[in-house]
Amino acid sequence: MSAENILSIENVSKVYKSAGKELTVLNAINFSVTAGSTLAITGPSGSGKTTLLGLCAGLDRSSSGIVRLNGVQLDGLSEDERAAVRNKYVGFIFQNFQLMPTLTALENVMVPMELRGLKNIRAHALDLLDKVGLAERSHHYPVQLSGGEQQRVSLARAFSNKPALLFADEPTGNLDAETSEKVEKLMFELNRDAGTTLVIVTHDLDLAMRTSRIIKIKGGQLISDESN
Ligand SMILES: Nc1ncnc2c1ncn2[C@@H]1O[C@H](COP(=O)(O)OP(=O)(O)OP(=O)(O)O)[C@@H](O)[C@H]1O
Ligand SMILES: [Mg+2]
């Protein structure tokens, strides 16, 4: 791994076993990501994009291969150790949001900052909600929010601990054109101003074209890797 790679994936595979059968969802994937760069991952539904993102972010473990995040090899770590690495370096925008149902929008955004022991987090969380256009919804619970609104809370939460790496799984998948543009602007600002590395799974070609590199996945294999 060269020093400037914030993420490197070597020969990573993921095999699920169900009903006595093995299903290879990712097959020997290799790529590295330079710190401060932007990358899009595209591919058909079911091709393994969400699985791959989860492995890169340390949410899940590979079946074989090596995942290094900011110089830390994730494969040998326990669940708790991986959680600590995630909290320190990673922001994640989930395809299905994964907000805590018992917390308000504001409280959801505050969680990563609380875990890090940061100060003045309420004001910062409100500011982030304002940036995603949800200042008026800060006291709503997830069930009281539309899909797109939940997605924007998820975004504000992912931004909150100023991650070195932001993983976004279809971040604009549920948003109208105007809100998509807002959200994209925020992500690329984070990249430009804070040097946050962006790894974005998207079906949106316009969004993919805004990144500096596009990786295509098909049937669990990396089929192309090109600079924009
Ligand atoms: N826990 C699991 N057990 C068994 N198979 C799984 C599991 N999770 C995912 N899969 C399978 O792995 C494949 C890849 O899923 P994944 O969610 O990574 O696809 P994706 O590329 O993100 O698709 P989409 O564009 O629809 O979000 C799918 O065929 C899915 O059914
Ligand atoms: Mg997916």
Looking at ligand 1, which atom is closest to the CA of residue 44? 25
What's the pLDDT at 32? 97
Q: Which two tokens stand for residue 70?
A: 């900011």
Query: Residue for token digits 């609380």?
Result: 114
Question: How deeply is 179 buried, as exposed, middle or buried, from its count of CB atoms within 10 A (0-12, 13-18, 19+)?
Answer: middle
CATH number of the domain that residue 59 is part of: 3.40.50.300
What's the pLDDT at 2? 47
18 ligand 1 Cβ < 6 A: yes
Across residues 10-26, what is the average pLDDT?
95
**d(CA 196, ligand 1 centre) in Å:** 27
What are the respective helix, strand and coil percentages of the chain, to the nearest 5? 35, 30, 35
CB-CB contact of 197 with 168 (8 Å)? no
CB-CB contact of 91 with 120 (8 Å)? no
| Interval 163-220: pLDDT, tens | 999 999 999 988 889 888 988 998 999 999 999 999 999 999 999 999 999 999 999 9
What's the pLDDT at 173? 87
| Interval 39-75: pLDDT, tens | 999 999 999 999 999 999 999 999 999 999 999 999 9
Query: Residue for token digits 């393994």?
Result: 48
Looking at ligand 1, which atom is closest to the CA of residue 18? 4
- Residue ranges of alpha helices (H) inside the chain are 49-56, 79-89, 105-115, 121-131, 147-160, 177-194, 205-209
**d(CA 117, ligand 2 centre) in Å:** 32
Across residues 220-226, what is the average pLDDT?
97
62 ligand 1 Cβ < 6 A: no
What's the pLDDT at 1? 44
Number of separate domains in the chain: 1
CB-CB contact of 35 with 195 (8 Å)? yes
78: left (phi over 0), alpha (psi -120 to 50) or beta: beta
Considering 23-27, 92-96, 113-117, the range whose residues carry the highest mean pLDDT is: 23-27
Q: Which of 75, 69, 186, 62 has its CA nearest to residue 127?
A: 186
Residue-number span of the structural domain to which 30 is assigned? 5-227
| Interval 134-160: pLDDT, tens | 999 999 999 999 988 999 999 999 999
Q: Which of 49, 48, 55, 50 has its CA nearest to residue 73?
A: 55
**d(CA 25, ligand 1 centre) in Å:** 7
**pLDDT of 3 above 60:** no
